[in-house]
Amino acid sequence: MKREQAILVIDDEEAVREAVADILDLEGLPVLKAHDGESGIALYTERQAEIGLIILDLSMPGLSGQETLARLQAINPDVTVLLSSGYSAYEVTDQLIDLHVTDFLQKPYNALHLINTVQTYLKIDD
């Protein structure tokens, strides 16, 4: 029997976290939420075995998305991260090359694109 891995959403905007969680919940995908980089790292450290994918906001107060990503990659170099931002991929291309992220999601999210992207990268346990 296959079991879906959880998606960890790290975003400082509550409306974004809730919208992503609602969309993925409709697809039956479990979601964990963190309001900043520090709490996201703590949650990942605590529940890493359950988390198959992270959606990480690039621009957050405090620990930035880049700093959060670096710390997540220090915990697990193979962590699967979708970086998200209100900026376009073109505007953040230089950062994306250096960050070794799995993919990029531009805000605002299109629900179908979000679901398809998540399902493309989500790890499934057999």
Task: Kindly list the structural domains of the chain, giving each domain's residue range(s) and its CATH number in brackets, ordered by start.
Answer: 3-125 (3.40.50.2300)
> For 94-110, what is the mean pLDDT?
75
For residue 52, report the phi and psi dihedrals to the nearest 5 degrees: -100, -15
Mean pLDDT for the chain? 86
Measured in whole angstroms, the distance separating CA 71 from the mean position of its chain's CA atoms is 14
> For 120-126, what is the mean pLDDT?
66
Residues of the chain with pLDDT > 70: what percent?
Answer: 83
**Cis peptide bond N-terminal to 108, omega within 30:** yes
> For 68-84, what is the mean pLDDT?
93
Residue 123 has pLDDT above 80, yes or no: no
pTM above 0.85, yes or no: yes
Measured in whole angstroms, the distance separating CA 110 from the mean position of its chain's CA atoms is 15
Residue 96 has pLDDT above 70, yes or no: no
Looking at residue 105, what is its pLDDT? 84
